[in-house]
Structure 1
Protein backbone atom coordinates (compact mmCIF):
# COMPACT_ATOMS: atom_id res chain seq x y z
CA UNK A 1 0.00 0.00 0.00
CA UNK A 2 2.79 2.43 0.90
CA UNK A 3 4.55 1.53 -2.36
CA UNK A 4 1.37 2.35 -4.31
CA UNK A 5 1.07 5.69 -2.52
CA UNK A 6 4.72 6.45 -3.18
CA UNK A 7 4.29 5.66 -6.89
CA UNK A 8 1.18 7.86 -7.04
CA UNK A 9 3.13 10.72 -5.44
CA UNK A 10 5.94 10.37 -7.98
CA UNK A 11 3.39 10.47 -10.75
CA UNK A 12 1.81 13.58 -9.20
CA UNK A 13 5.26 15.19 -8.92
CA UNK A 14 5.82 14.57 -12.62
CA UNK A 15 2.36 15.59 -13.82
CA UNK A 16 1.30 18.46 -11.52
CA UNK A 17 4.15 19.98 -9.57
CA UNK A 18 2.01 22.62 -7.86
CA UNK A 19 -0.50 20.07 -6.63
CA UNK A 20 2.37 17.85 -5.45
CA UNK A 21 3.68 20.76 -3.35
CA UNK A 22 0.25 21.50 -1.87
CA UNK A 23 -0.33 17.83 -1.04
CA UNK A 24 3.16 17.45 0.44
CA UNK A 25 2.66 20.49 2.69
CA UNK A 26 -0.68 19.09 3.89
CA UNK A 27 0.93 15.73 4.66
CA UNK A 28 3.76 17.41 6.57
CA UNK A 29 1.29 19.54 8.55
CA UNK A 30 -0.77 16.45 9.37
CA UNK A 31 2.36 14.48 10.23
CA UNK A 32 1.51 11.85 7.58
CA UNK A 33 5.18 11.00 7.16
CA UNK A 34 4.67 7.50 5.79
CA UNK A 35 2.93 8.84 2.68
CA UNK A 36 5.40 11.59 1.80
CA UNK A 37 7.39 11.41 -1.43
CA UNK A 38 10.69 11.77 0.41
CA UNK A 39 12.97 11.38 -2.60
CA UNK A 40 11.49 14.33 -4.46
CA UNK A 41 11.05 16.37 -1.29
CA UNK A 42 14.74 16.02 -0.44
CA UNK A 43 15.68 16.99 -4.00
CA UNK A 44 13.44 20.06 -3.82
CA UNK A 45 14.81 21.24 -0.47
CA UNK A 46 18.37 20.76 -1.73
CA UNK A 47 17.52 22.71 -4.85
CA UNK A 48 16.32 25.68 -2.78
CA UNK A 49 19.87 26.56 -1.76
CA UNK A 50 21.10 26.26 -5.35
CA UNK A 51 18.35 28.58 -6.53
CA UNK A 52 19.21 31.18 -3.90
CA UNK A 53 22.86 31.09 -4.95
CA UNK A 54 21.99 31.39 -8.64
CA UNK A 55 19.68 34.31 -7.91
CA UNK A 56 22.35 36.13 -5.93
CA UNK A 57 24.95 35.49 -8.63
CA UNK A 58 22.63 36.82 -11.32
CA UNK A 59 21.85 39.97 -9.33
CA UNK A 60 25.53 40.64 -8.67
CA UNK A 61 26.42 40.26 -12.37
CA UNK A 62 23.62 42.64 -13.38
CA UNK A 63 24.75 45.17 -10.77
CA UNK A 64 28.33 45.06 -12.01
CA UNK A 65 27.24 45.25 -15.65
CA UNK A 66 25.30 48.45 -14.99
CA UNK A 67 28.11 49.98 -12.98
CA UNK A 68 30.50 49.30 -15.86
CA UNK A 69 28.13 50.75 -18.44
CA UNK A 70 27.65 53.85 -16.29
CA UNK A 71 31.38 54.38 -15.96
CA UNK A 72 32.62 53.46 -19.45
CA UNK A 73 29.83 53.75 -22.04
CA UNK A 74 30.16 57.47 -22.60
CA UNK A 75 28.25 57.59 -25.92
CA UNK A 76 25.06 56.42 -24.17
CA UNK A 77 25.58 58.00 -20.77
CA UNK A 78 23.39 61.06 -21.27
CA UNK A 79 20.49 59.01 -22.63
CA UNK A 80 20.75 56.04 -20.23
CA UNK A 81 22.31 57.37 -17.02
CA UNK A 82 19.01 57.60 -15.14
CA UNK A 83 17.97 54.11 -16.19
CA UNK A 84 21.33 52.60 -15.28
CA UNK A 85 21.36 54.32 -11.89
CA UNK A 86 17.82 53.09 -11.16
CA UNK A 87 18.87 49.56 -12.11
CA UNK A 88 21.95 49.83 -9.88
CA UNK A 89 19.75 50.91 -6.97
CA UNK A 90 17.30 48.10 -7.67
CA UNK A 91 19.97 45.38 -7.88
CA UNK A 92 21.61 46.62 -4.68
CA UNK A 93 18.27 46.52 -2.88
CA UNK A 94 17.51 43.02 -4.16
CA UNK A 95 20.95 41.78 -3.07
CA UNK A 96 20.48 43.39 0.34
CA UNK A 97 17.06 41.74 0.67
CA UNK A 98 18.52 38.34 -0.20
CA UNK A 99 21.30 38.78 2.36
CA UNK A 100 18.82 39.89 5.03
CA UNK A 101 16.85 36.69 4.45
CA UNK A 102 19.98 34.52 4.26
CA UNK A 103 22.97 36.23 5.91
CA UNK A 104 25.01 33.04 5.60
CA UNK A 105 25.26 33.77 1.85
CA UNK A 106 27.55 36.78 2.47
CA UNK A 107 30.75 34.69 2.19
CA UNK A 108 29.41 33.13 -1.03
CA UNK A 109 28.95 36.61 -2.49
CA UNK A 110 32.58 37.41 -1.69
CA UNK A 111 33.66 34.09 -3.21
CA UNK A 112 31.86 34.63 -6.53
CA UNK A 113 32.69 38.33 -6.92
CA UNK A 114 35.76 37.84 -9.17
CA UNK A 115 33.90 35.46 -11.48
CA UNK A 116 30.83 37.72 -11.59
CA UNK A 117 32.99 40.71 -12.41
CA UNK A 118 34.66 38.85 -15.27
CA UNK A 119 31.32 37.69 -16.68
CA UNK A 120 29.66 41.10 -16.26
CA UNK A 121 32.64 42.73 -17.99
CA UNK A 122 32.04 40.54 -21.06
CA UNK A 123 28.31 41.26 -21.02
CA UNK A 124 28.89 45.01 -20.72
CA UNK A 125 31.30 44.83 -23.65
CA UNK A 126 28.80 42.95 -25.80
CA UNK A 127 25.85 45.20 -24.92
CA UNK A 128 27.81 48.39 -25.47
CA UNK A 129 29.76 47.08 -28.46
CA UNK A 130 32.84 48.56 -26.80
CA UNK A 131 36.05 46.58 -26.87
CA UNK A 132 36.51 44.25 -23.92
CA UNK A 133 39.76 46.09 -23.20
CA UNK A 134 37.66 49.21 -22.44
CA UNK A 135 36.68 47.59 -19.17
CA UNK A 136 39.43 46.88 -16.62
CA UNK A 137 40.30 43.23 -15.99
CA UNK A 138 40.40 43.87 -12.24
CA UNK A 139 37.25 44.88 -10.42
CA UNK A 140 36.60 48.62 -10.41
CA UNK A 141 36.02 48.55 -6.65
CA UNK A 142 35.88 46.11 -3.75
CA UNK A 143 32.61 44.24 -3.24
CA UNK A 144 31.70 46.30 -0.18
CA UNK A 145 32.03 49.47 -2.26
CA UNK A 146 29.89 48.31 -5.17
CA UNK A 147 27.20 47.26 -2.70
CA UNK A 148 27.27 50.70 -1.02
CA UNK A 149 24.09 52.51 -2.01
CA UNK A 150 25.87 55.87 -1.95
CA UNK A 151 28.68 54.91 -4.34
CA UNK A 152 28.73 55.33 -8.08
CA UNK A 153 31.81 55.07 -10.28
Structure 2
Protein backbone atom coordinates (compact mmCIF):
# COMPACT_ATOMS: atom_id res chain seq x y z
CA UNK A 1 0.00 0.00 0.00
CA UNK A 2 1.27 3.46 -0.86
CA UNK A 3 2.12 5.56 2.14
CA UNK A 4 -0.93 7.79 2.56
CA UNK A 5 -2.30 9.42 5.64
CA UNK A 6 -5.22 7.52 7.16
CA UNK A 7 -7.52 10.50 6.79
CA UNK A 8 -6.60 10.87 3.13
CA UNK A 9 -7.09 7.16 2.53
CA UNK A 10 -10.61 7.35 3.97
CA UNK A 11 -11.42 10.36 1.81
CA UNK A 12 -9.81 9.05 -1.38
CA UNK A 13 -10.67 5.33 -1.45
CA UNK A 14 -13.28 4.14 1.00
CA UNK A 15 -12.99 0.49 -0.06
CA UNK A 16 -9.26 0.50 0.46
CA UNK A 17 -9.76 2.21 3.83
CA UNK A 18 -12.18 -0.57 4.86
CA UNK A 19 -9.74 -3.29 3.79
CA UNK A 20 -6.92 -1.56 5.66
CA UNK A 21 -9.10 -1.15 8.76
CA UNK A 22 -10.16 -4.82 8.71
CA UNK A 23 -6.55 -5.87 8.36
CA UNK A 24 -5.56 -3.73 11.34
CA UNK A 25 -8.43 -5.14 13.40
CA UNK A 26 -7.50 -8.71 12.46
CA UNK A 27 -3.90 -8.14 13.53
CA UNK A 28 -5.05 -6.25 16.65
CA UNK A 29 -3.10 -3.19 15.50
CA UNK A 30 -5.46 -0.84 17.31
CA UNK A 31 -2.91 1.95 17.66
CA UNK A 32 -2.90 2.51 13.89
CA UNK A 33 -6.68 2.56 13.49
CA UNK A 34 -8.50 5.61 12.17
CA UNK A 35 -10.76 5.70 15.22
CA UNK A 36 -12.72 8.82 14.28
CA UNK A 37 -13.90 7.45 10.95
CA UNK A 38 -14.31 3.91 12.29
CA UNK A 39 -16.66 5.15 15.03
CA UNK A 40 -18.55 7.23 12.49
CA UNK A 41 -18.98 4.23 10.18
CA UNK A 42 -20.15 1.91 12.97
CA UNK A 43 -22.68 4.51 14.14
CA UNK A 44 -23.84 4.85 10.56
CA UNK A 45 -24.72 1.18 10.37
CA UNK A 46 -27.65 1.52 12.75
CA UNK A 47 -28.77 4.82 11.20
CA UNK A 48 -29.01 3.10 7.83
CA UNK A 49 -31.15 0.29 9.24
CA UNK A 50 -33.38 2.78 11.05
CA UNK A 51 -33.92 4.80 7.87
CA UNK A 52 -34.68 1.59 5.98
CA UNK A 53 -37.20 0.48 8.62
CA UNK A 54 -38.95 3.84 8.53
CA UNK A 55 -39.09 3.90 4.74
CA UNK A 56 -40.41 0.34 4.53
CA UNK A 57 -43.04 0.85 7.25
CA UNK A 58 -44.35 3.96 5.47
CA UNK A 59 -44.51 1.96 2.22
CA UNK A 60 -46.37 -0.84 4.00
CA UNK A 61 -48.93 1.58 5.40
CA UNK A 62 -49.37 3.39 2.07
CA UNK A 63 -50.14 0.21 0.22
CA UNK A 64 -52.35 -1.15 2.99
CA UNK A 65 -54.35 2.10 2.94
CA UNK A 66 -54.71 1.88 -0.82
CA UNK A 67 -55.70 -1.79 -0.64
CA UNK A 68 -58.29 -1.22 2.03
CA UNK A 69 -59.75 2.16 1.06
CA UNK A 70 -59.16 2.78 -2.65
CA UNK A 71 -61.70 0.83 -4.74
CA UNK A 72 -59.45 -0.09 -7.67
CA UNK A 73 -59.71 -3.88 -7.74
CA UNK A 74 -57.37 -4.14 -10.74
CA UNK A 75 -54.60 -2.73 -8.52
CA UNK A 76 -55.16 -4.96 -5.48
CA UNK A 77 -52.80 -7.72 -6.53
CA UNK A 78 -49.90 -5.31 -7.12
CA UNK A 79 -50.47 -3.58 -3.80
CA UNK A 80 -50.61 -6.92 -2.00
CA UNK A 81 -47.37 -8.07 -3.62
CA UNK A 82 -45.69 -4.84 -2.52
CA UNK A 83 -46.98 -5.33 1.03
CA UNK A 84 -45.72 -8.91 1.20
CA UNK A 85 -42.32 -7.92 -0.20
CA UNK A 86 -42.13 -5.05 2.29
CA UNK A 87 -43.08 -7.33 5.19
CA UNK A 88 -40.32 -9.72 4.12
CA UNK A 89 -37.70 -6.96 4.02
CA UNK A 90 -38.79 -5.66 7.41
CA UNK A 91 -38.52 -9.17 8.87
CA UNK A 92 -35.03 -9.53 7.36
CA UNK A 93 -33.83 -6.34 9.06
CA UNK A 94 -35.39 -7.34 12.38
CA UNK A 95 -33.88 -10.81 12.17
CA UNK A 96 -30.43 -9.26 11.86
CA UNK A 97 -31.12 -6.63 14.54
CA UNK A 98 -33.93 -7.73 16.88
CA UNK A 99 -33.39 -4.69 19.10
CA UNK A 100 -34.79 -2.53 16.28
CA UNK A 101 -38.26 -3.94 17.06
CA UNK A 102 -38.41 -1.31 19.82
CA UNK A 103 -37.53 1.42 17.34
CA UNK A 104 -40.20 0.16 14.94
CA UNK A 105 -42.78 0.36 17.74
CA UNK A 106 -41.63 3.90 18.56
CA UNK A 107 -42.04 5.18 14.99
CA UNK A 108 -45.21 3.22 14.21
CA UNK A 109 -47.69 6.11 14.59
CA UNK A 110 -45.44 8.71 12.94
CA UNK A 111 -44.97 6.42 9.95
CA UNK A 112 -48.71 5.93 9.68
CA UNK A 113 -49.25 9.69 9.75
CA UNK A 114 -46.67 10.20 7.00
CA UNK A 115 -48.26 7.46 4.88
CA UNK A 116 -51.67 9.00 5.52
CA UNK A 117 -50.49 12.42 4.34
CA UNK A 118 -49.03 10.88 1.20
CA UNK A 119 -52.22 8.99 0.40
CA UNK A 120 -54.38 12.07 0.92
CA UNK A 121 -52.29 13.87 -1.67
CA UNK A 122 -52.49 10.96 -4.10
CA UNK A 123 -56.18 10.01 -3.70
CA UNK A 124 -59.46 11.79 -3.03
CA UNK A 125 -60.47 9.08 -0.62
CA UNK A 126 -61.36 9.29 3.04
CA UNK A 127 -58.69 7.57 5.10
CA UNK A 128 -58.90 7.15 8.89
CA UNK A 129 -56.87 9.54 11.03
CA UNK A 130 -56.16 6.76 13.53
CA UNK A 131 -54.24 3.78 12.24
CA UNK A 132 -56.69 0.92 11.54
CA UNK A 133 -53.94 -1.69 11.33
CA UNK A 134 -52.61 -3.86 14.10
CA UNK A 135 -49.82 -2.42 16.19
CA UNK A 136 -48.73 -5.97 17.03
CA UNK A 137 -45.55 -6.35 15.00
CA UNK A 138 -46.00 -10.09 14.55
CA UNK A 139 -49.38 -9.49 12.93
CA UNK A 140 -48.21 -6.52 10.89
CA UNK A 141 -45.15 -8.34 9.57
CA UNK A 142 -46.50 -11.87 9.09
CA UNK A 143 -50.18 -11.77 8.36
CA UNK A 144 -52.61 -10.37 5.87
CA UNK A 145 -53.44 -7.55 8.28
CA UNK A 146 -55.60 -5.50 5.90
CA UNK A 147 -59.31 -6.10 5.39
CA UNK A 148 -60.79 -7.32 2.12
Same fold, judged at TM 0.5 (above): yes
Q: Are 1:55 and 2:52 matched, yes or no? A: yes
Q: Are 1:27 and 2:24 matched, yes or no? A: yes
1:66 to 46, 63, 75: 63
Larger % of helix: which?
1
Q: Kindly indicate whether the alpha-carbon contact (under 8 Å) linking 2:60 and 2:83 is maintained by their aligned counterparts in 1.
A: yes
Distance 1:72 1:146 in 2: 17
Tell me the equivalent position of 1:141: 133
1:116 to 92, 111, 114: 111
Q: Kindly indicate whether the alpha-carbon contact (under 8 Å) linking 2:134 and 2:145 is maintained by their aligned counterparts in 1.
A: no
Q: Deviations over 1:77-128 (max 9, x none)?
A: 22211110000001111111111111111111111001000001112222x3
Tell me the equivalent position of 1:102: 97
Q: Kindly indicate whether the alpha-carbon contact (under 8 Å) linking 1:27 and 1:36 is maintained by their aligned counterparts in 2.
A: yes
Q: Kindly indicate whether the alpha-carbon contact (under 8 Å) linking 2:133 and 2:145 is maintained by their aligned counterparts in 1.
A: no
Q: Kindly indicate whether the alpha-carbon contact (under 8 Å) linking 1:63 and 1:88 is maintained by their aligned counterparts in 2.
A: yes
Deviation at 1:148, TM superposition (A): 3.6
Q: Are 1:45 and 2:39 matched, yes or no? A: no
Tell me the equivalent position of 1:91: 86
Q: Deviations over 1:4-34 (max 9, x none)?
A: x8x7111111111121111111111111212
Q: Kindly indicate whether the alpha-carbon contact (under 8 Å) linking 1:62 and 1:91 is maintained by their aligned counterparts in 2.
A: yes
Any unmatched runs of 5+ in structure 1? none
Deviation at 1:151, TM superposition (A): 2.5
Q: How many residues align?
A: 143
